[in-house]
């Protein structure tokens, strides 16, 4: 189902750091290429190493990013409403790094990477706005990952904080 | 020169206590309930205080009291095995004896929290010093606004007080959220750092008291997240940890700037420690 | 009072059950130790002290107290370096604390200086001035008697004038000024307390002339003026509080060996650690308390590692505590200007120079900012 009203997305935009405070004309361009996509519980949204096709904004539900480590499938991070996922779709490598699995029924707003890239190329101001927000998002994700890597609850890390 | 001094019972001698119950919380963490041996009474305690727990001939360690302060005659300790003394302590069976000195140190601000929303952010073993607060809020539920507990642990196997977590989430106007740093795919809960849980709660910053206990690095992130959500520095309290050997300000080990963590803390208003927590490491 | 009267004074103290502790020659230094007679005192000896250097030297006269303080202080007797805090025995799993065996000794300190007494008062605030009292210190401290000697021979490392603790002693039971430069070897005695007056009752003394009193003043005034080292104790409080990031900490850390000598000789350093042990049957346990030093890596250890892992952070902790946060904690500086940490530092680190260097770096940084 297509998102066909600017107001609707504009209202929803505040819930997504990637869209918050965008100019109406930029939002309008994004509405052009936005799609609603839903996934059932346990559905694989994309596999690890797959071609990254879409950037998703999660509207509801919970998603696990997973990988195989030590022969076991482990969860790296869970994502939920407001989070963005699949930003490798905007990079040229365009391969996903983790598997994304729906932990519940999930609703998303999806942007096809190729279309989003064209929109950004065509309108560098929009492109820059998107990239700034994407960078903030990646930075936050990186900070969180660093904290997890520190293993702060582990015996060794406890005193070294 | 003679000097006036009030005679006090020797604060350096442990009081024997008998272990009445041992609960295995995780692979390395146990909760020991102790009662007075010897017919002598046990000291009362306030939520947030700690005791020096003595293993005969091995040594003494500071352990936060994790029991309900309104149950008299017992001291409950949740102990993670991280060194020689704690390893010996968690190896005990009911009927064994330990020593304790004190309830020492400062308490969580339960009076200031009256009528306020109570937000607890715990990491790892840091949930244990907060458990007496939860017991208190649960007993006197109507004295407080919303009750929110955000709890982060390393893996699902490291979660403390699992059954109680469910019970606490069932309290009126309460929300208990749990996240882990790492999980296998059987875990259906959140994976990520504890501050990510702030996304799922609706804070009322004007009427919230936040208390946090966990690794120092976690608490620094938590405080940043709380400030970003418009909590004033004065609404934030935390529990600090340093080496403690005496518990009463004589051994000097627990100093951080001008503070003795054992007697000025372990519970501090964030404003008291802001300077020492931010920016300067190795203090 | 003359030398034979001093002998009687020592006897009187011993008769009253005091263990007299005073200056004695020991291990190439003038240290505090048991004194049973005047002959135990270091007659005709003095010390020459410089950063990282202590030498005994002969004096031209026979002065008994003609030296500056050595490595020991009253801390060695009141806040002892090793003490058993308790012993316990186990029967059927339950343990019992055994009663302490001996009553603590009563000390009479003879010949201690203004800085020593000031240091004791600093330790009083730390160990018995708060909510809890250290029972071991308290028992020794409560019963001790102080017979000071005003310092007329400061070492080059001394700066008690800066710290307001000397060279004239205060808060004594008795205080002596020694006049050994003339044929007549005698002492001016000042009474500081009833206990002091009582001890003096049976000692043959004559009323001092005003001339003698002013000679005593002149000697300590001259001693004060002779001091070359200075430290602004009030300025140090804010200076160190505001200069955790001074580049000087890196520079001093290049020299500091983190040996902890300064903390051992410091008359106010109070940190201790505890050691537990059992006998071979495991049925009897003891805990011993020992002096500890914030220079050791283990000092700040919590499961997993040490909070202060660099020498820089440990030197900073010591100096900042001593001169700045001590004031926040106990209402006075932790330094009395005795200079022991300068003399006994194996590489001659001088805290007065360090504070001056931090001040210099601080003003340089401020100039750059403006």
Please compute the mean of the pLDDT values over residues C114-138 and round it to a whole number. 94
Q: At what angle do helices C311-320 and C233-241 cross, to 10 degrees?
A: 140
C337, C161 Cβ separation under 8 angstroms: yes
CB A153 within 8 A of CB B183: no
In this prediction, residue C140 carries a pLDDT of 94
Q: Is the pLDDT of residue C102 over 80?
A: no
Instruction: Count Cα atoms within 13 angstroms, Cβ side, for C46.
Output: 18
Query: Per residue in B174-188, pLDDT tens?
Result: 999 999 998 988 898
Report which DSSP code applies to B77. E
Per-residue pLDDT tens over the stretch B69-82? 999 899 999 999 99
Q: How many domains does chain A have?
A: 1
Q: Is the pLDDT confidence value at B10 over 90? A: no
Quote the Cα angle for C330-C334-C336, to 5°: 130
pLDDT band at A155 (very low <50, low <70, confident <90, very high): low
- What are the residue ranges of helices labelled H in B59-140? 84-90, 110-113, 131-139
Give this prediction's pTM: 0.89
Measured distance CA(B163)–CA(B245) in Å, rounded: 33
**Residue boundaries of the structural domains of chain C:** 3-226, 233-369
Helix axes A113-122, A124-150, angle to 10 degrees: 130
Is B188–A144 a contact, with Cβ atoms under 8 angstroms apart? Answer: no
Q: A105 touching B, CB under 8 A?
A: no
Chains with ≥3 Cβ pairs under 8 A against C?
A: A, B
B199 pLDDT more than 60: yes
**Per-residue model confidence (pLDDT) at position C50:** 96
pLDDT at A72: 84
Domain boundaries, chain B: 15-104, 110-239
> What pLDDT score does C368 carry?
82
Q: How far is B238 from chain C (nearest CA, A)?
A: 18
Query: pLDDT at position A127, please?
Result: 94
**Judging by DSSP bridges, how do beta strands C145-149 and C174-179 pair with one another?**
parallel
Compute chain C's Rg from CA coordinates. 22
Q: If pLDDT is split at 50, 70 and 90, which confidence band does B3 have?
A: very low
Task: List chain C residues with CB under 8 Å of B280.
Answer: 244-245
Average pLDDT rounded to a whole number, residues B149-172: 96
Q: Tell whether omega for the bond before C167 is within 30 degrees of 0, i.e. cis.
A: yes
Percentage of residues in chain B with pLDDT exceeding 70? 95
Q: Which of C145, C300, C303 sits opposite B253 (nearest CB)?
A: C300
Residue C98 has pLDDT above 90, yes or no: no
- pLDDT band, very low/low/confident/very high, at B9 (cuts 50, 70, 90): low
Correct CATH for B15-104 of 2.40.30.10, 3.40.50.11540, 3.40.50.2300, 2.120.10.30: 2.40.30.10
Euclidean distance between CA atoms C307 and B283, whole angstroms: 7
CA distance to partner chain C, nearest, from residue A144 (Å): 22
Question: Is C346 an interface residue toward B (CB < 8 Å)?
Answer: no
Which position has the token pair 């030197």? C315
pLDDT in tens, C240-258: 999 999 999 999 999 999 9
Q: What is the pLDDT of residues C188-200, one digit of tens each?
A: 999 999 999 999 9
Give the per-residue pLDDT at C346. 97
pLDDT (mean) for B22-43: 91
Query: Exposed, middle or buried, B142 (CB in 10 Å: 0-12/13-18/19+)?
Result: exposed
A21 located within any domain:
yes
Domain annotation covers residue A24: yes
- The predicted pLDDT at position A91 comes to 76
Spatial strand order in the sheet of A106-112: A34-39, A106-112, A54-60, A84-85
Contact B179, B214 (CB under 8 A): no
Q: How far apart are CA B158 and CA B153, in angstroms?
A: 6
- Beta-carbon contacts of B144 under 8 Å, excluding residues fewer than 6 positions away, are B113, B114, B115, B116, B117, B118, B137
CB contact under 8 A, A156 and C304: yes
Q: Considering the domain boundaries, does residue A158 fall inside one?
A: no
pLDDT digits over B116-128, tens only? 999 999 999 999 9
Average confidence (pLDDT) over C126-152? 94
Query: How far apart, in whole angstroms, are the C-alpha atoms of residue C83 and residue C139?
Result: 13
Strands C145-149 and C107-112: parallel
Element (H, E) at A60: strand A54-60
Which is it for the CA torsion A45, A49, A54, A60, positive or negative? positive
Query: What's residue C367's pLDDT?
Result: 85
Neighbours of chain A (3+ CB pairs under 8 A): B, C
Q: How far apart are CA B222 and CA B220, in angstroms?
A: 5
Is pLDDT of B8 > 60?
no
- With cut-offs at 50, 70 and 90, classify the pLDDT of residue B249: very high
Note whether C302 contacts A160, CB cutoff 8 Å.
no
A159 lies in some domain: no
Domain presence at residue A156 = no
Any chain A CB within 8 A of the CB of C306?
yes
CB atoms within 10 A of CB C139: 17
**Is the N-terminal amide bond of B121 cis, ω within 30° of 0?**
no
B115 closest CA partner among B207, B48, B205: B207
Interchain proximity C273–B251, CB inside 8 Å: yes
Task: Tell me the CATH number at A92.
Answer: 2.60.120.10
For B83-151, where are the alpha helices, taking DSSP H only?
84-90, 110-113, 131-139
CB pairs under 8 A between B and C: 134
CATH class of B110-239: alpha beta
* pLDDT at residue A7, rounded to an integer: 60
Nearest CA in chain B to A63: B190
pLDDT digits (tens, 9 = 90+) for C18-38: 999 999 999 999 999 999 999
Nearest to C132 among B18, B38, B249 (CB): B249
């Amino acid at each position: 189902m297509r998102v066909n009203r600017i107001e609707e997305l504009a209202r929803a935009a505040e819930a997504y750091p990637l869209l918050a405070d965008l100019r109406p004309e930029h939002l309008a361009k994004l509405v052009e290429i936005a799609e609603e996509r839903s996934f059932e519980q346990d559905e694989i949204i994309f596999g690890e190493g797959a071609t990254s096709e879409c950037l998703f904004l999660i509207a509801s539900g919970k998603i696990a990013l997973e990988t195989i480590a030590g022969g076991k499938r482990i969860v790296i991070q869970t994502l939920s409403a407001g989070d963005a996922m699949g930003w490798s779709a905007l990079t040229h490598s365009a391969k996903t790094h983790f598997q994304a699995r729906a932990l519940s029924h999930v609703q998303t707003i999806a942007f096809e990477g190729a279309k989003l890239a064209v929109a950004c190329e065509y309108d560098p101001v929009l492109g820059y706005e998107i990239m700034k927000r994407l960078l903030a998002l990646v930075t936050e994700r990186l900070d969180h990952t660093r904290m997890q890597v520190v293993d702060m609850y582990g015996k060794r890390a406890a005193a070294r904080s | 020169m003679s000097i006036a001094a009030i005679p006090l019972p020797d604060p350096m001698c442990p009081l024997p206590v008998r272990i009445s119950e041992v609960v295995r919380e995780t692979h390395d963490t146990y909760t020991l309930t102790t009662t007075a041996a010897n017919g002598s009474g046990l000291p009362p305690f306030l939520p947030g205080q700690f005791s020096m727990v003595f293993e005969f001939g091995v040594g003494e360690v500071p352990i936060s009291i994790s029991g309900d302060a309104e149950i008299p005659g017992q001291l409950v300790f949740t102990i993670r095995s991280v060194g020689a003394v704690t390893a010996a302590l968690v190896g005990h069976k009911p009927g064994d004896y330990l020593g304790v000195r004190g309830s020492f140190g400062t308490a969580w601000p339960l009076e200031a929290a009256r009528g306020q929303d109570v937000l607890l952010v715990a990491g790892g073993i840091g949930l244990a010093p907060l458990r007496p607060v939860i017991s208190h809020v649960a007993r006197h539920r109507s004295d407080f606004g919303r009750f929110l507990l955000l709890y982060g642990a390393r893996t699902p196997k490291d979660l403390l007080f699992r059954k109680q977590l469910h019970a606490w989430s069932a309290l009126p106007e309460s929300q208990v959220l749990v996240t882990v740093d790492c999980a296998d795919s059987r875990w259906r809960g959140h994976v990520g750092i504890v501050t990510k849980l702030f996304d799922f709660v609706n804070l009322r910053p004007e009427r919230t008291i936040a208390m946090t206990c966990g690794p120092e690095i976690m608490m620094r992130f938590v405080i940043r997240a709380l400030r970003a959500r418009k909590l004033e520095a004065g609404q934030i309290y935390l529990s600090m940890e340093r080496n403690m050997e005496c518990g009463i300000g004589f051994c000097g080990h627990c100093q951080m700037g001008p503070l003795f963590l054992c007697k000025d803390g372990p519970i501090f208003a964030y404003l008291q420690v802001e300077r020492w927590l931010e920016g300067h490491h190795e203090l | 009072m003359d030398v034979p009267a001093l002998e009687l004074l020592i006897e009187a103290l011993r008769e009253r059950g005091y263990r007299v502790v005073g200056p004695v020659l020991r291990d190439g230094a003038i240290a505090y130790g048991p004194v049973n007679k005047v002959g135990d005192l270091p007659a005709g000896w003095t010390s020459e002290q410089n950063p990282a250097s202590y030498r005994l030297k002969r004096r031209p006269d026979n002065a008994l107290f003609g030296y500056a303080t050595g490595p020991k202080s009253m801390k060695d007797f009141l806040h002892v370096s090793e003490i058993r805090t308790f012993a316990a025995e186990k029967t059927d799993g339950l343990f019992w604390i055994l009663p302490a065996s001996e009553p603590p000794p009563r000390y009479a300190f003879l010949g201690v200086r203004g800085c020593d007494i000031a240091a004791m008062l600093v330790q009083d605030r730390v160990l018995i001035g708060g909510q809890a009292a250290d029972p071991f210190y308290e028992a020794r401290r409560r019963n001790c008697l102080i017979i000071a000697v005003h310092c007329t021979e400061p070492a080059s490392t001394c700066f008690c004038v800066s710290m307001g603790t000397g060279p004239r002693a205060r808060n004594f039971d008795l205080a002596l000024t020694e006049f050994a430069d003339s044929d007549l070897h005698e002492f001016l005695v000042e009474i500081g307390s009833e206990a002091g007056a009582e001890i003096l009752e049976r000692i043959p003394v004559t009323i001092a002339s005003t001339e003698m009193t002013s000679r005593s003043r002149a000697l300590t005034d001259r001693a004060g003026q002779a001091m070359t080292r200075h430290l602004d104790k009030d300025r140090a409080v804010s200076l160190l509080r505001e200069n955790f990031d001074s580049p000087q900490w890196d520079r001093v850390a290049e020299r500091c060996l983190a040996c902890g000598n300064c903390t051992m000789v410091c008359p106010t350093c109070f940190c201790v650690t505890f050691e537990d042990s059992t006998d071979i049957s495991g049925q009897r346990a003891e805990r011993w308390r020992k002096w500890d030093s914030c220079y050791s890596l283990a000092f700040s250890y919590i499961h997993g590692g040490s909070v202060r892992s660099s020498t820089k952070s440990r030197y900073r902790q010591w100096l900042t505590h001593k001169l700045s946060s001590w004031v926040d904690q106990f209402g006075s500086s932790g330094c009395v200007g005795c200079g022991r940490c300068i003399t006994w530092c194996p590489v001659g680190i001088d805290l007065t120079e360090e504070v001056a260097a931090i001040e210099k770096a601080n003003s340089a940084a401020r100039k750059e900012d403006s």
